[in-house]
A = this chain, B = another copy of it.
Amino acid sequence: MKKPSFKNVAVIGTGVIGRCWIQVFARAGCRVRVFDANPESLAAGMTWFKNDLKDLRQRGQIKKKEAKARWERVTAAESLADALEGAQYVQESLPESQEIKNRAFHEIDALLDPKAIVGSSTSAMDMTLLAHGVPGARRFITAHPVNPPHLIPVVEVLKGAETDPKVEAKTIKFLKEIGQSPVVMHRFVTGFILNRMQAALVREAVDLVASGVADVEAVDTSIRDGLGLRWAFMGPFGVANTNADQGARQYFTRYGKAYEEMWDALNTKTRFNPELIEQIGQATDRMTGASYEKQRQWRDRMISAIRAVKAADPLLRDPPKRRRKPPKAASRKKK
């Protein structure tokens, strides 16, 4: 991991998402000051971090020395001002309320070094509105992680209307340095990228069950023993690129019409109702006898193991001379 360009970081808000950011930053070697206006939540966040370090040690993923070093990089701050003191990057993970976040942004902006950047963990709100009226709106940017952010690297990055493009560039650079995988949005849409794609898949999954085509277990199996085996290391475009001898162009030229016909056949009127949710609940009960807690521990182990598999065998690049189509600067331009 590269040495991060921001050494001093503040984590504001220590709920389910905020607390995981402590681990992300501490792991990357940053000094982290943590604050939550609710002292119980702050204490719970620090306890979660302590326990996560313990788990990592017990599973042999880090040594005692490393756990100690990470723990010593992190401080529970006594106030917002204390947390922001010297911070070069702030990760805000407060409740999803425009009012709460906007008020906090005013406070943070007033206390924070003028050169520092603030990333928001908001999963759905528009930075243009969140930073509205904040004098330093130019240094506020959406940096939405996936739960849990210390295990799943994607972070959705999106400027508000007033965000400085340099702030975007620095945020992307920093996120990469600390081992996250930033994806850039060019404009706001409901649900951002990730939740939209999840919603599209969930709609079809729910519809297949609701319309009696397949049981919950069959739908899940078709992902986890089928499509999902590729999606763990290739997105839909990467899959297309390997599904025809001559890559994605050939694939979509050949199957574009079949896709469009299928799109027209998908039901977009699907809705939840209590009976449907109960049907899903009974099926997920049957799918595993393990407790929810054990399922989550298994999930976290599996994600770590799959990331290790990916890291151990990255797709080797051919030497540049063998590239069929060298990257063209012009083609990178947005339309």
Nearest-CB distance from A316 to chain B (Å)?
6
* A interface, over-half SS: helix
Known: A200-B203, A231-B224. A190 touches B237 (CB 8 A): no
Q: Name which of A27-35, A36-44, A131-139, A296-304 contacts chain B.
A: A296-304
Taking a contact as CB atoms under 8 Å apart, the answer to whether B214 and A205 are in contact is no
How many monomers of this chain does the complex have? 2
Measured CA separation A335–B210 after assembly (Å): 10
Known: A194-B227, A218-B183. A199 touches B263 (CB 8 A): yes
When the two chains form the complex, which single residue of B196, B214, B234, B278 contacts A193, counting CB atoms closer than 8 Å?
B214
Q: Does A58 contact B (CB under 8 A)?
A: no
From residue 223 to 274 of chain A, which have CB atoms closer than 8 A to chain B? 223-238, 240-243, 245-249, 252-253, 256-263, 265-266, 268, 270-272
Taking a contact as CB atoms under 8 Å apart, the answer to whether A201 and B202 are in contact is no
Taking a contact as CB atoms under 8 Å apart, the answer to whether A231 and B234 are in contact is no
A180 and chain B: residue at smallest CB distance: B225
Nearest-CB distance from A284 to chain B (Å)?
4
List residues of A whose CB falls within 8 A of some B CB: 124, 146-147, 151-154, 156, 181, 183-187, 189-191, 193-205, 208, 211-216, 218-238, 240-243, 245-249, 252-253, 256-263, 265-266, 268, 270-272, 277-278, 280-292, 294-296, 298-299, 301-303, 305-307, 309-310, 313, 315-320, 322-325, 327-328, 331-332, 334-335
Show 23 residue pairs from A and B whose CB-CB distance is below 8 angstroms, ordered by the A residue. A147-B243, A184-B218, A189-B213, A196-B266, A197-B204, A200-B200, A200-B203, A201-B201, A202-B236, A223-B231, A224-B231, A230-B299, A233-B299, A237-B283, A245-B292, A247-B284, A247-B292, A253-B277, A256-B277, A285-B327, A289-B318, A290-B318, A306-B309
